[in-house]
Structure 1
Amino acid sequence: MSTATMTRTVTDDNAEAVVVPALPADDRAGDGYDWMDTLEGTAWSVLPAWGSEGWDAGSWSYIIFAVARTRDSNGELFGYGTFVEGDTATYWFRTQDACFEAITAAVFFHWASGQSDGPDHLPATAAELPAQDRKPYPGWTD
């Protein structure tokens, strides 16, 4: 993992100031597949699937999720980033549970809006999803 590109931010779960690996920005020279190539050698990896059945986390090459994990002097940090039609954003959390809930809400939005393939019968909110559908697909390793 290259630690040369770090950025200062605050965690989304407790507003703690942290220094974390930066998510590579979109260079606007290619598509989402090209952007995924920029993750090579960084702390970030693509998150292709979510939930118990491995439903789509995004819709390649327009909507892509990536995840990262790092450690500082206060413990572990868990991050996820998105690439949505060229725009990137990152979110960091001190706890893995908070990160998983945030990813679930983001993935659920794309499922509910028909932008990516998810469960056939979605509840009204992400919080109503069964516990097994609010965490990474078991067949995926990070």
Structure 2
Amino acid sequence: MSTQTMTRTATTDTAEPVTAPALPADNRTGDGYDWMDTLEGTAWSVLPNWGSEGWDAGSWPYVIFAVARTRDGYGELFGYGTCVEGDTSTHWFRTQDACFEAITAEVFFHWACGQSDGPDNLPVTAAGLPVQDRKPYPGWMA
């Protein structure tokens, strides 16, 4: 049984203060695959794919996405975090739609830069992606 570390933060979409599960930090003793192992027993799980065709969400072991879902006294909280070459960051949202939009924007960035495999015909911006590519791959469940 893992003891979940909690952190005080603010939601990105509503700017309200919340206490939510902390994303484990990279301890710099291994690679991204080792960091993914640190998620076991926490509220976080790796997000491998994004969009209707399950394109890469990141580029393991250098760019890794993780997601979490929790509840506080005011309702549900939806989080995503990244580990990019050892640097971690976390974002929490009060709504799932806002979280999906933020993940889409960050995944799109990595697709557009050629850092991970995405759709062949990318639009100019993430906002131009069709709705089916702005949410998790249907074959994946968190």
With normalisation by structure 1, the TM-score equals: 0.98
SS of the residue corresponding to residue 76 of structure 2 reads strand
Deviation at 1:2, TM superposition (A): 4.4
Amino acid at match of 1:72: D
- How do 1:1-142 and structure 2 match up within 5 A? 2=2, 4-142=4-142
Deviation at 1:4, TM superposition (A): 3.2
Gaps in structure 1 of 5+ consecutive residues: none
Distance 1:99 1:53 in 2: 19
Distance 1:20 1:89 in 2: 14
Give me the CA root mean square deviation: 0.9
Amino acid at match of 2:119: P
- Aligned partners of 1:49 and 1:55 also within 8 Å: yes
- Aligned partners of 1:2 and 1:43 also within 8 Å: no
Distance 1:16 1:138 in 2: 30
Give per-residue Cα distances to partners, 1:77-135, cap 9 Å, x unaligned: 00000000000000000000000000000000000000000000000000110000000
SS of the residue corresponding to residue 34 of structure 1 reads helix
Distance 2:71 2:4 in 1: 15
SS of the residue corresponding to residue 138 of structure 2 reads coil
Deviation at 1:3, TM superposition (A): 5.3
SS of the residue corresponding to residue 9 of structure 1 reads strand
Distance 1:4 1:89 in 2: 17
Kindly tell me the number of residue pairs found equivalent between the two proteins. Answer: 142
